[in-house]
Amino acid sequence: MTISEFINRYPTKHKEGFTDDEIKELISLFDNDNDIDIKRFNTSMRGHTCMMVDGDIVNYHCDIIGGLHSAIIGNPKDIYVNNLITKLRETKLKKLLDE
C-alpha cells in the first residue's frame, strides 16, 4: 500500500479530508523520533488551502500525502508505509486495513 492509498482510506469525519485532531491522531501513529520529521511535516502543511465543514477546518488528503512524503525519514516511502501497516494491524485501524 502506498502513502496515497493509506491516506485516502484513512477514516475521517469528513470525506473532503482531515480535521486537526485527525492529523494529530495520524502523526501519533509514527515513532516521531525515528520515523518522521515533524518539523518538515508542519513546514510542508503551511500555506495549503483548506475548507470549513460543519465548523471544522478540513485539510485535503493530497496535502497530508505531500506532508508525509516530505517528512518520512529513511526507508523508501512505499516500503515504509507497508512496515507501518504491519504495525497497525493490531490497532483500531485493523478494519480499515483489512478491507
Q: What is the pLDDT of residues 5-44, one digit of tens each?
A: 889 999 999 999 999 999 998 888 876 666 788 888 899 8
Residues 15, 21, 26, 29: is their CA dihedral positive or negative? Answer: negative
pLDDT surpassing 80 at residue 58: yes
Residue 18 bridge partners (DSSP)? 59
Report how far apart, in Å, the C-alpha atoms of 39 and of each of 21, 46, 71, 73 are: 17, 11, 8, 12
- Mean pLDDT (whole number) for 56-71: 92
- 12 φψ region: left (φ > 0), alpha (ψ -120 to 50), beta (else): beta
76 pLDDT higher than 60: no
Tell me what pLDDT residue 62 has: 93
What are φ and ψ of residue 43, in 5° steps?
Answer: -65, -40
Q: What pLDDT score does 59 carry?
A: 96
